[in-house]
Amino acid sequence: MRVLEVSNYEEMSALAAELIGAQVLLKPRCVLGLATGSSPIGTYERLVEAHREGRLDFSQVRTVNLDEYCGLRGDDPNSYRFFMDHHLFSRVNLQRENTHLPNGAAPDLEEECHRYEALIQSLGGVDLQLLGIGRNGHIGFNEPSDSFPPVVHTVQLTESTIQANSRLFERIEDVPTQAITMGVGTILKAERILLIAGADKRYILEEALTGRVTPQVPASVLQLHRDVTVIVCREE
């Protein structure tokens, strides 16, 4: 595991984009695992800049996102499909049919979980998985629990996660309480993992990277992966 400390969010975003861009250059038909939330927005901005300057070509890249809210269609402004379209997909030359997220509006969520897990494996697995980390140590929407979920599954969001995500909604009552997420086992199958974290996550990040491996701190499982790079900010 490599832990890279940078001064601020801008440096973190630039370095993360460089690492993702290197993956695309190394393997143009790679599979990128992508994340949502505030942490990766700057990274996506840098990737868009690189594309516009002719330094990155996404035409062959396939993407799979970590998660999606249950009950939201892809055209809902609060959905993660909408987020990805807005911040990345529509701004580079990704082929829409090569961008994949769970369908949170599927009539049978259990079947959708099976479908999405199979889809990821059918693509040959993830070459580089981008992650953030929650204040309670969650990765994707894998909340603290008694075990590490092995595959894509639905999850009941904790009150702390709902509170954290409520800033993106008009009312906290509008925040979905369930999501479909890659399982910890699914995430660990990625060839490489890149985790980015702001200064406000330093406490939980230290616990995850140096404490015991436990599903009560889901990110702690990353200690077991063979190729993890962590970029953390010293200040906001």
Residues in the chain: 236
Annotated catalytic, 51? no
72 vs 109: CA distance, rounded Å:
12
Answer yes or no: are the C-beta atoms of 83 and 63 closer than 8 Å. Answer: no
* Number of other residues whose CB lies within 10 A of the CB of residue 93: 11
Q: Which of 45, 85, 98, 136 is catalytic?
A: 136
Q: What's the rounded Cα separation, in Å, for the pair 30 and 25?
A: 9
18 in Cβ contact with 50 (< 8 Å): no
Kindly name the residue from 68, 103, 112, 138 that is annotated as catalytic.
138
- Residue 223 in contact with residue 206, Cβ under 8 Å? no
Task: Give catalytic status of residue 138 as yes or no.
Answer: yes
Which is the catalytic residue, given 68, 117, 127, 143?
A: 143
136 catalytic? Reply is yes
**Which residue out of 51, 65, 67, 191 is catalytically annotated?**
67
- Looking up tokens 């897990």 gives 117
Q: Does the annotation count 103 as an active-site position?
A: no
Residues catalogued as catalytic: 67, 136, 138, 143
